[in-house]
Amino acid sequence: MSKTVLITGGSRGIGAATAIYFAGKGYNVAITYNKSADAVNSLKEAMALNNTPFLTVRCDVSDPAQVDLAVEQTVNTFGGLDVMVNNAGIALQKLITDTTNDDWQGILSTNLSGVFYGCRAATRVMVPKHKGSIVNISSIWGITGASMEVAYSATKSGIIGLTKALAKELGPSGIRVNCVAPGVIDTEMNKNLTPEDFAALKNETPLGRLGKAEEIARSVYFLANDAEFVTGQVLSADGGFI
């Protein structure tokens, strides 16, 4: 019987690359998306070419009821949930003095609360079966912090703390919880950066280039499937940036 993965924010960037990679490994794939309907249609076409069992669920991860429903639909469609990838997130680059209360609440509810809701919903499915793997997507800025990204950095740091705590809680139930902290990845989320920004970031990265979404997808798969004695860890896939 094929395994099943659910990836939040799976229509573009790291999420879409992760969906495609897991599909290539024979997984049933479910993704959530919020606004990227066109990207979902393109991904559906790619999955159809490979005959991958594929489910898409429109879901705002800041709403716990919608997250619960996405997990429920995944289980009802495929008969279970083996891997949960909490990837959905948004960016925010502002001085703290320019960051409004709405900015703060918006990024907190999506980036951190959304991961909490995803972990909680997956845990309810996995604990009775005493197996499963959760991989959360943080960022190097959750480790080091980034200027003009106080709110974003705080949410990504929170994901790391959540991961470590939940790994201890779920370890006795046979469930592993880990985290990937990507460096600067060439995705649409970084489209606001200038060519000068990109050049500077490349220079700061020992490997001398930006990361690829597919490279993060392989890191996620490793933690979910191949790292059987690894839990509560943060894998910094950052080209040596930190």
Residue-wise pLDDT for 91-149, tens only, equals 999 999 999 999 999 999 999 999 999 999 999 999 999 999 999 999 999 999 999 99
Tokens read off for 26: 């024979």
Which one of 27, 33, 117, 152 is the catalytic residue? 152
pLDDT surpassing 80 at residue 191 = no
As a whole number, the mean pLDDT across the chain is 95
Residues 6+ apart with CB under 8 A from 35: none
Each residue of 138-157: b (16+ CB within 10 Å) or e?
bbbbbbeeeeebbbbbbbbb
Domain ranges of the chain: 4-237
User: What is the pLDDT, as a whole number, of residue 201?
Assistant: 85
| CA distances in angstroms from 93 to 53, 149, 242, listed in the order given | 37, 5, 20
* Amino acid identity at 63: D
| Domain 4-237, classified CATH 3.40.50.720, yes or no | yes
Q: Is the pLDDT of residue 190 over 80?
A: no
Average pLDDT for 9-23: 97
Q: What is the pTM of this model?
A: 0.95
Residue 3 has pLDDT above 90, yes or no: yes
pLDDT of residue 199: 85
Assess whether 21 carries a catalytic annotation.
Answer: no
3-state helix, strand, coil in the chain (%, to 5): 50, 15, 30
42 within 8 A of 70, measured Cβ to Cβ? no
Report, as an integer, the average pLDDT of 31-55.
93
